[in-house]
Amino acid sequence: MLQNEPRTPNPRSRFYWLGLLVVFTLVWFSNIEYRKLVRPDEGRYAEISREMAVSGDWVTPRLNDLKYFEKPPLQYWATAAAFRAFGDSHWAARWWPAATTFACVLLMFWTGRRLFGFEVGLAAAAMLGGCSGFVINAHINTLDAELTAFLTVALLGFLLAQHPGATPKENHHWMRVVWAALALAVLSKGLVGVVLPGAILALYLLLERDGRRLTRLHIAEGAVILLLIAVPWFVAVSLANHEFAHFFFIHEHLERFLTHVHKRDGAWWYFVPILLFGAMPWTPFIAIRLRDGWRREGEPGTLQPLRLLLIWTAFIFLFFSASSSKLPSYILPVFPALALFAAIEIQRLEPKTLSHFTWGLAAIGGALLLALLIGGERMARVFAKESSQFGIVRNYIPWIQASVLSFILGALAAAWLLRRHARSTGIVALAFGSLAAGIVALNGHDQLSRLFSAYHMVRETEAEYGPFDPAAPFYSVQMYDQTLPFYLKHPVTLVQYSDEFALGLAAEPQKGIAQVEDWKQRWIALDKGYAMMNLANYERFASEGLPMRLLARAPRRVIVSRQ
């Protein structure tokens, strides 16, 4: 199955594929400036990076000017560097996850082409670039996209290093890449960057009884590479902050996995619908090839890439399913593995079969679009609440309809092309339809930004009343909007609120106010100041006669000034 001399495309078609790459690039990066940052993750990671860029302290991450040790700093560094070079912007906040995942797609093509031929390489890149879960997470400012990118580099590097045709020099070279990628994965999100691939490799070697492969891992040299890249920051931050080690390694790793301390628990089947939807539109093609894909090929001891890809997927899925802390993006690293698996296996299906499946996907999309056209407003009323006004939620419905229509058009084009035995072009068409659907849906989510972002409140207040006085205190009363400091361009003072700031407030308690009653006394004595609070607190304080001037009001919160 593996090839040393992969086939190349017809030279006359290279301009065609290059044109597709240009279009893909433009679409991929088209919306990272357009959307407002939303809470919690986008605001949090943008603000940590902004404060790092302003302070020049590249060792100790701070959120709202308080020590923040939940995650390592690699993405903070990349984003802070962009802020310093280009200024604070939405695209600078999102460029790193978008760029690393984009590179992942390109690497998928290069690796697939080198190992399995041009058609597999193109299909693998198209499938990853059009994979719903991958597309959505790649365009949101979280750390999981970065982690996924480096884990994918490690996975693909391992395949390149271990395939039967690799020379000793190639094996050595690519294993160095693997170890470096693992180190960067650790700097992305902690020990999970080595725990996951290490456990997956151990499981693979046990199942395959392939202990001899250990000699091709260059473990001693690899450990040195990993330590040289990953350890210096951990040493530096530990020397500068005595509380770091216990919080990061115990609280953020063991307690996060074993307990409900982060209040992100979910049922055992939590990731099942996320996996099924996230792998779309390739889920049906993967499902029908799972059994055949598990079959062993070649001589005993030969690397079994398809088995490794399935073990990778299953272990990550089960690992996070067993965890007491669950978020949808945690299983993002499975999608590159599934894309490569699907790209290999889809070559073994007849174009006619692929066409039938794709017509089915188009029909499902058509039924969904019809339901949205008929019952869209009714659906908006179901999701709307007192704090999520119907008028705001309703504005998202046309975008969802346009997203589904984009997918249908891509599926119809793919079905027609596959029926004409244009396998590669059909796969690309379906991928572009799925990518466009994801981008449109993400763009439409900006219609909900009044519910999830402080952008509008800050900008509208500044437009009507002038800029906020940076010398006047700004309080966040019994709440914290993760996007507020980023749009204010300075931290706020927390009032009777700790949550993820417990460690930072314990280290520097003078930066917060422990009780609302203490804040009220400060507020009354002020000549000038600002505060954000939820509606219930605003109404209660107003009934008590607390001097406040309403500056901005959103469905869930208000900004007031000292009268």
pLDDT tens by residue, 254-301: 666 665 655 566 788 999 999 999 999 999 999 999 988 888 887 777
For all residues of the chain together, what is the average pLDDT? 92
Sequence letter at residue 462 = E
Give the number of C-alpha atoms closer than 13 A to the C-alpha of residue 338, restricted to the C-beta side.
33
Mean pLDDT value of segment 539-563? 93
Res 555 pLDDT > 90:
no
Residue 366 to residue 347: CA distance in whole angstroms: 27
Predicted local confidence at residue 168, as pLDDT:
93
Predicted local confidence at residue 323, as pLDDT:
87
pLDDT digits (tens, 9 = 90+) for 42-59: 999 999 999 999 999 999
Q: Are strands 493-495 and 474-477 parallel, antiparallel or unpaired?
A: parallel
What lies within 8 Å, CB to CB, of 233 at 6+ separation is: 59, 72, 73, 187
pLDDT band with cut points at 50, 70 and 90 for residue 3: very low
pLDDT digits (tens, 9 = 90+) for 54-90: 999 999 999 999 999 999 999 999 999 999 999 999 9
Mean pLDDT value of segment 321-337? 93
Res 249 pLDDT > 90:
no
Q: Torsion angle of alpha carbons 257, 263, 264, 267, nearest 10°?
A: 90
At 355 the three-state DSSP class reads helix
Res 7 pLDDT > 60:
no
Res 9 pLDDT > 70:
no
pLDDT digits (tens, 9 = 90+) for 490-537: 999 999 999 999 999 999 999 999 999 999 999 999 999 999 999 999
Neighbours of 426 (CB within 10 A): 25
Tell me: cis bond preceding 11? Omega within 30 of 0 counts. Answer: no
pLDDT digits (tens, 9 = 90+) for 152-203: 999 999 999 999 989 999 999 999 999 999 999 999 999 999 999 999 999 9
Residue 246 to residue 7: CA distance in whole angstroms: 53
- What are the φ and ψ backbone dihedral angles of 552, each rounded to 5 degrees? -150, 145
